[in-house]
Amino acid sequence: MAQRNVSIPTLVMVVTDGRSADDPKGPGQILQAQPNTWVFAAATGDPEKVDTRELMDITGNINHIVMHRGRDLATDITRRLLRQAQDKCRTTTTTTTTTTTTTTTDPITGCELDLVLVLDFSTTTDPVYNSYKDLSKRLVSQLKIGPHYTQVAAVTFATVGRTRVRFNLKKYQTQEEVLRGIDNLKSRGGTTAIGAGIEKALTQLDESEGARPGIATKVMVVFTDGWSNKGPDPEKRARDAVSSGFEMYTVAYTAHTPGAVTLNNETLSAISGDVHHTFTDVTFQALIDKIKQRNLPCMP
């Protein structure tokens, strides 16, 4: 750092599980105080065992911490953080004998979130699918929606042939549009292919769909009773989603509803990965608060 050109933006990246034998706070503060410098931390291993306090000491900024499952994905995390820093810093300067023009890329707010809602519209959910829509709208209503903040896509699934992207990440740019889009979702019933729904949701990794790789946090929320009888293995497709960088969550509706089936908790847990990613209508606000963290720095 002492030998660098301070006019050039510098990225310092620490890849760690956040469990240091010494105290990183002092050195972290020294780095944070350097001009034109960003300090990031990419957490390896099980997110539940990472010491986030130490990561905060290192970076000084909660938005510069990326939690990810799997030590073997640390390299991918590093690449994505580097691209994010490059996009944040990139400028194009043209100089002539009389003028200097500087053009910057669109600003990165640090609040970017790509949210994919996956809703079970099979026959078994006929009594509760409107509740899935209500929960989805409740989530969207508490987020900051826009091209520099949260973008939302919706996927519905039933029979394999009835799995559709109802709207992609780039279709709507305001909260009102997203809420209207959710309101317009209709169910036609059918058998249940949860794996096909997750598989279709993975199309939202594509930039042509509005994805912001290396910039936005990726979250997938699957609303279902957990019963699947057609299509790809939902647990395997969920692992594919996590490997692609998605945070996976399941939401089940538990309130007494005439005609509703009992929940398949085994499948729900297999899709989400653990109890910390499995929610119901009763605990849904905790999930909202968790997802909302990405937007908080940009909310009044």
The residue that leads in pLDDT, 72 or 189, is 189
pLDDT single digits (tens) 141-178: 999 999 999 999 999 999 888 899 999 999 999 999 99
State residue 6's pLDDT score. 78
Local structure of 204: helix, strand or coil:
helix
In DSSP notation, 33-88 reads: TSTTEEEEEEE-S-GGGS-HHHHHHHHS-GGGEEE-S-GGGHHHHHHHHHHHHHHH
Q: Are 112 and 245 in contact (CB under 8 A)?
A: no
State residue 7's pLDDT score. 78
For strand 246-252 and strand 164-167, is the pairing parallel, antiparallel, or unpaired?
unpaired
The residue that leads in pLDDT, 151 or 101, is 151
Highest mean pLDDT: which range of 6-15, 87-96, 196-205: 196-205
pLDDT single digits (tens) 239-275: 999 999 999 999 999 998 898 899 999 999 999 999 8
CA distance 244 to 231: 20
Task: Provide, rounded to the nearest whole percent, the portion of the chain with pLDDT above 90.
Answer: 56
Report CA-CA distances (Å) from 136 to 30, 114, 130, 143, 209: 43, 14, 10, 11, 20
- Six-digit token string for 160: 């394999």
Amino acid at 193: A
Phi and psi for 14 in degrees, rounded to 5? Answer: -110, 120
pLDDT band at 92 (very low <50, low <70, confident <90, very high): very low
Does residue 95 register a pLDDT over 80? no
State residue 289's pLDDT score. 96
- Under 8 Å CB-to-CB from 273, ≥6 apart: which residues? 69, 238, 242, 248
The residue that leads in pLDDT, 16 or 164, is 164
Phi and psi for 92 in degrees, rounded to 5? Answer: -120, 120
For strand 100-104 and strand 91-95, is the pairing parallel, antiparallel, or unpaired?
antiparallel
Go through the domains of the chain in sequence order and give each one's CATH number: 10-90 (3.40.50.410), 113-298 (3.40.50.410)
Identify the residue whose tokens are 């050109």.
Answer: 5
Identify the residue whose tokens are 């497709």.
Answer: 237
Tell how far CA 49 is from the center of its chain. 20
Beta bridge partners of 258: none
pLDDT single digits (tens) 169-222: 999 999 999 999 999 999 988 999 999 999 999 999 999 999 999 999 999 999
pLDDT single digits (tens) 209-248: 999 999 999 999 999 999 998 899 999 999 999 999 999 9
- What is the DSSP secondary structure assignment for residue 265, as one 8-state letter? H
Tell how far CA 287 is from the center of its chain. 12
CA distance 21 to 6: 31
- Six-digit token string for 172: 């709507």
- Six-digit token string for 214: 């290396």
Identify the residue whose tokens are 């809703």.
Answer: 119
Q: pTM for this one?
A: 0.67
